[in-house]
Amino acid sequence: MTAPLPDPPAGVHLATRSDRIREAGWVFRSLLWERIFTRRSTSGQRIFSLAIVLIPLGALWYIGWRDGIRGLIIAALVLLAVLALCAGLLRRQQRGTQTRVYVLDDHTATLTMTSNGDYWTIAGHNRSRRAPGAGERLQDQLLPTVSVAADRADVGVRLTAAAPKLADRYAHKLPGLLMIGPAVPYGIQMYRPSLTQRRVVSVDELE
């Protein structure tokens, strides 16, 4: 049985439609601009963003050069169909899971969580470019609630930190969070065991 995600604490609300539209803009800005052209990005983020931009554009340019405008239009339609198919498969895969997007009350940062099986996943974290520090403020307000609620529901918490600095920040704000190893395509996999799992580990260490 999937444990329900926690309700938002004071200062945080669940995303409205306008919040989700705003967040989508932040995601595209991050993928297509910040991760490629700013120094804050890790090499893994930069390579990933360059790949998702250059590979489709390169393929379209080659087909257009080889087959002309008709081939270019057909290739673009095929690309859109593939993207729609991938989105449909992802939505189908997420059936039966609960997803909540938490938003600061000033609408400057979001954090997405999903619940599936025996663990919760922090699946996305975005903020407005005009609000430096907003993401950390949202973590400060939300993660203590997540920690308490996860122990109450006896579920683990999973996430991928994009860089070691972010991994250290998450580990500080979610006590018991462990670094598991490298993530694909980039980042660090992290997991906070459930209360039962932590007790089992403690017993094994005593023995």
What pLDDT shows up at residue 96? 54
Structure-token match 């189908």, residue found: 92
Confidence bin at 206 (pLDDT 50/70/90): very low
Note the pLDDT of residue 74: 78
Q: How far apart are CA 152 and CA 148, in angstroms?
A: 6
pLDDT at 149: 95
Per-residue confidence (pLDDT) for residue 164, from 0 to 100: 86
By C-alpha distance, which of 173, 178, 166, 152 is closest to 5? 152
Average pLDDT for residues 148-157, to the nearest whole number? 94
Is residue 73 scored above 90 in pLDDT?
Answer: no
| pLDDT band at residue 61 using 50, 70 and 90 as cut-offs | confident
Q: What is the mean pLDDT of the chain?
A: 81
Contact between 113 and 146 (Cβ < 8 Å): yes
